[in-house]
Amino acid sequence: MFSFIRIVAVFTITLPYTIQQQFFEESYRTCEFENAADKKTITVPNQVWNVQGLNRHKDVLIKLSICDLGSSIPDCDVGATVCTVNKKKNRYIIKNAGTSFIYTKDDTEANIFKSINGEFCDGEERFTTIIEFSRYPDISLEPKFKFMSECELKIEIPDPEYEPPCTLKKNGHFIDMRSLKNIETIVEHPEPKMKFSLNVCKKSPKCDPDVSICQLLDDGRSTAISDVSSQRLLLKEGSLLIQGHTNEYRRFRLEFRLNLKCNWKATGLTNLVYVKPQQKGKRYSFSAESSVACVKLPINCLIRDPANDNFLYDLRRLYRGGNGWNVKNVTGGRIDISMCGPLRFSDSTTECAKQHSQVCLMKGGAINLGSIQKNIQVTAHDTVITSFTDGSACFVNGTERSYSTEIEFICKIQEDGPIVHDIIDECVYKIKWYTPIACAKNLPIGDDCRVTDMTGPINLNPMRQYQDRTHTLSPNSFLRFNLCGPLNKRCNNHTAAVCLVNGNTEHVLGRTNLTLVKNNEIISTIMKGDKCSGKMSELKINFRCNQFATPGGQVQVKIIRDFCDYEITVNTPTACSPMSFFDCKLYNGNWLYDLSPLMRHDANYEIKQAGLLYSLNLCRSVVRTNNAQCTAYAGICMKNLTEMHEKKSYISLGMINSDIDLKLDGADVVVEYKHGTLCPDDFSDRSSLIRFKCSTLEEGPKLLRKTACNHEFVWRTPEACGKNRTNPKMRSPPACIFADPVTKNTFDLAAINTIIKFERHNETFKVPICSNAFTYCTLNNGLNCTTLDTDFQLASSSNGPSILYSLFNRSCTDNIVNFVNISVSCEPTYSINKFEVGEITNCTQYADLKTQHVCSKDLILKSNEIISSKPEIVSQTENQDCTIPELNHFSLNSLGNLKIFSMSNNSLYVFNFDRKGDCNGLVCKDGLSMGPEVHLCPLTKIDDVESSVRLIYRSRMCLDDFFRSEILLKCDENSVPRIVKETDCSVVVHYPFKEVCTWFPQSGQLEVSSADSTGVAVGSSVGVLVLLALVGGGIIVFKKRGMQRNTSYETISSDKRRLYVYCKNAEL
């Protein structure tokens, strides 16, 4: 055990030093200067000093800031960094004693600060302020007046690189213990009998020369314990330590330690004791209390997570000023607490005010519950804890202690404020503070133009160029700059990164700063330059990830303050987080499944569900966005939208690595991501699986099911249908290929591209042919639809194929639908698929589908020849003037010349009904004749039910088939021609023609719909354009020139030739 012996004698000599507490409320800011002569740099405090003159200048007050504050100093001219005030005499009043300082040398080669651009004092001479550097033990730590004349002022400051003995520079502030150096103390220890002479930072008269602490022996001799020159001041865990030793050789060294504790009311040293060690050794320890040990530095409210220093806890927004926060759950009193700033008091005589309390209890008087911040840290539970100690005296069972407060800041989405959680031994108050301000933010800082966050490392050094960049601001001015390094050519003979060139003058806008700060998607650095319009120039450079920009970057410049402050934004792929890719192609025999068209380069697919946001990509890792900040190479990133703590809000559901490949699971293509964030439920890595299902429509990814550690997504897309490499037209998996048992011909049923729709009771079903999904809608409480999975089986017979879908596994009652059986039969005369819904038997809905897609080409051609002999059909014959006898011998020549531009593939279709077109054919595509020859007439079908006439042209070969053109003439006077279906080898056009209304008097305005239509009519905006063109006597023609996005216009003569625009999926 340690034993404590109090002092028996104290001898005090009073000198000019004042023994009192030391507190610093302002955060320490600095600025840096470079000496032009030797290129060395020094750092000085960025603050305003008030320096009092001496002797005959005792009435002069100098206001001085070596750095630029960014604002004017009171009583000084705008832009001045030093001035003098004399309130008693009208002399030595200098409103501008210099606008800035330079770091240089005087005539003796000594380093100095020298002001420039002061006011004129004598003709053409300007007033100059000289700041000299000094080094001696008793130097004042504040600037000191030395000399003043009509045109010159001299100030003395400690050399910025000098730390006087018995002082300690902490966070830029000097802790000065020199007030204790003239206190000599004799300490006696009774058992065993020991006697010490102790001086702090000064030799003791009772010890050997240059020794401050020694043991006094009975024979009059002494044993040296600490030399004056070896004594050092340390601040450790809120306590001040003075340490020293004898002898440079550690083997023979004796060591001294004095632990100084804060006592606001103590004068000099009190309660000084010798602490006897547990075992004999070479260290002599003492303990004492003093008000000079009450060192209150600015409160630290910024702390990085030691486990991951990318995350920053910033508590500064908790500072309210005034009375601060009122603490809840206080019995019989009131507690006010201030965090990140001083607590203000209306009564300066209270103990809380005198002791600069941060936590004050008003209970029968003011009780200081803590003044000095200690031990701020991040816990393993991602909370922040700190304490305020050295409060008022607290007596418990006759023992004197001091009040203190321990605070734990806990991240929460809403602000609850501080609340008393517990009181320990009547002296220690424990407070919990739930607040969103305690939630960590992902704000990594990097140096050397590199930064690393949880998405991976980013190195911007390749942005530096060996030739300076330029950006023109006006005809006479431009920026000259470099990135991640200084300019290759100096700016106004100074090292800089950004230079403003205005005519023949150069101005430093920013000096090189390689420190980067990353905030979500933006990486930035801030640079300071020379003074401009009374303030230092400031330049901010933002780097934004853009994978499509050139590596050198696309640069944008914004002026923040008139030709003084600028913001440069550089869009570059160099600022993008590292990414990884994997092969998105799967080969299975003759079948190729290529999912690479689904990959996105500038965004992710997002799924929002139950407070979670899933970001995923394909063939590559996720793109870094504000909502996707997962670890590098994540394939799927999950963000908890209700979690304010960014460290906890992102979870990787799987990584992109070399062992990823596509697999077939039945008819589905699957990809699995592994090695995600650790799952605490079973201490394994999270994983996820995406199941791609063949579909005629692109639906994007959806969450199918999940557990605590695994997620499964479903993605219905045409890209999962696969392509036959030997027969490109065949695009279905083998499960949907019908082989005719008689003719041995094979047919791709997916090419039918039809959705079977029917209703039963309050249910609606939409079942696409050859799809593993269907749409199910209920009419209860409104229309509610969802997409569900289904399995299908293909059966073959001589009558054609049949497809059986398994929809539900419900009890078979009341003729509900659990299965759908579609019989597909050949009907060579039907160019459009037609189906009939039959009866329900054993919960199976039967339907018949008639289509040309399961007919042989020979059969279709033969049927057309037979049909041509029927009275309602006019065959495709040779005739210069094609007429329809059944329709009053209507001449197709009167249809004129129809032109339609397809925006889906940038193709121009021309139908030369009047035989006057430039293209050698009745149907032309992009100037190429698709046939037939102009003297051939079409197959004609008249439908009295639909009040329409269908013109069918077959012409040149196209991918082992004939190019097929169909014109559907309808009774419609209001709409315009549009493409309703378009493939590589066919086009179907809806042609509203008012004369059709006279052929079918009972018809009205009809809309055309097709289950297999891939086209959409042009919207009202195009209709208005066409209408305006017609009124103006001409027709507007849209052309897309090259790769430009703008649209040009041409007018065609007002004959019967017209051009209409067709936008697939309404993309105009």
pLDDT exceeds 60 at position 1045: no
pLDDT exceeds 50 at position 689: yes
DSSP letters spanning 524-579: EEEEEEEEETTEEEEEEEEEEE-TTS-TT-EEEEEEEETTTEEEEEEEEGGGSPP-
Helix (H, G, I), strand (E, B) or coil at 725: coil
Fold assignment, 585-719: Cation-dependent Mannose-6-phosphate Receptor; Chain A (2.70.130)
pLDDT exceeds 70 at position 1007: no
- Sequence-ordered strand ranges (E) for 94-231: 100-105, 111-116, 120-122, 125-126, 128-134, 144-148, 152-158, 167-170, 173-176, 183-189, 194-198, 211-216, 222-227
Of residues 1041 and 445, the one with the higher pLDDT is 445
Architecture of 445-575 per CATH? Distorted Sandwich (2.70)
pTM assigned to the model = 0.62
Of residues 1021 and 868, the one with the higher pLDDT is 868
Fold assignment, 29-170: Cation-dependent Mannose-6-phosphate Receptor; Chain A (2.70.130)
Helix (H, G, I), strand (E, B) or coil at 972: coil
pLDDT exceeds 80 at position 1039: no
**Among 3-7, 675-679, 827-831, which stretch is predicted with the lowest mean pLDDT?**
3-7
Helix (H, G, I), strand (E, B) or coil at 614: strand
Q: What is the mean pLDDT of residues 683-694?
A: 90
pLDDT exceeds 50 at position 875: no
pLDDT exceeds 70 at position 520: yes
As a whole number, the mean pLDDT across the chain is 80
pLDDT at 553: 82
pLDDT exceeds 90 at position 366: yes
pLDDT at 1057: 37
The secondary structure element, H or E, covering residue 481 is strand 477-481
pLDDT, tens digit (0-9, with 9 covering 90-100), for 560-596: 877 788 999 999 888 888 888 888 999 888 888 999 9
The number of residues making up the chain comes to: 1068
pLDDT, tens digit (0-9, with 9 covering 90-100), for 432-482: 999 999 998 888 888 889 998 878 889 999 988 888 999 998 888 999 999
pLDDT at 181: 78
pLDDT at 564: 83
Of residues 418 and 1040, the one with the higher pLDDT is 418
**Among 601-615, 769-783, 927-941, 981-995, which stretch is predicted with the lowest mean pLDDT?**
927-941
**Among 282-286, 522-526, 559-563, 964-968, which stretch is predicted with the lowest mean pLDDT?**
559-563
The answer to whether the CB of 62 falls within 8 A of the CB of 50 is yes
Q: What is the mean pLDDT of residues 6-24?
A: 42
Rounded Cα distance between 409 and 394, Å, is: 25
Give the helix ranges, DSSP H, for 792-905: 857-867
One-letter amino acid at 757 equals K
Of residues 949 and 1048, the one with the higher pLDDT is 949
Of residues 57 and 249, the one with the higher pLDDT is 57
Tokens of 591: 């079948």
pLDDT at 21: 58
Please state which CATH number belongs to domain 734-768+780-854: 2.70.130.10
Rounded Cα distance between 514 and 1004, Å, is: 75
Domains 3-13+176-293 and 734-768+780-854 alike in fold: yes
pLDDT, tens digit (0-9, with 9 covering 90-100), for 259-281: 988 888 887 788 888 888 876 77
pLDDT exceeds 60 at position 241: yes
pLDDT at 917: 65
Rounded Cα distance between 936 and 55, Å, is: 119
Short-list 542, 305, 613, 306, CA closest to 442 = 305
Architecture of 3-13+176-293 per CATH? Distorted Sandwich (2.70)
User: 167-170 and 173-176 as β-strands: parallel, antiparallel, unpaired?
Assistant: antiparallel
Rounded Cα distance between 840 and 843, Å, is: 6
pLDDT exceeds 70 at position 18: no
pLDDT exceeds 50 at position 546: yes
Tokens of 581: 């890719």
**Among 518-522, 852-856, 1016-1020, 1056-1060, which stretch is predicted with the lowest mean pLDDT?**
1016-1020
Please state which CATH number belongs to domain 299-441: 2.70.130.10
One-letter amino acid at 213 equals I
| Domain locations along the chain | 3-13+176-293, 29-170, 299-441, 445-575, 585-719, 734-768+780-854, 868-1012
The answer to whether the CB of 915 falls within 8 A of the CB of 893 is yes
Query: How are strands ordered across the β-sheet holding 477-481?
Result: 469-474, 477-481, 498-502, 505-510
Rounded Cα distance between 147 and 417, Å, is: 54
Short-list 478, 480, 476, 477, CA closest to 467 = 480
Short-list 487, 488, 524, CA closest to 509 = 487
How many angstroms separate the most distant Cα atoms in the chain?
A: 146
Rounded Cα distance between 176 and 294, Å, is: 11
CATH entry, 868-1012, from 2.70.130.10, 1.25.40.10, 1.10.274.10, 3.90.550.10:
2.70.130.10
- Reported as a pLDDT band with limits 50, 70 and 90, residue 727 is low
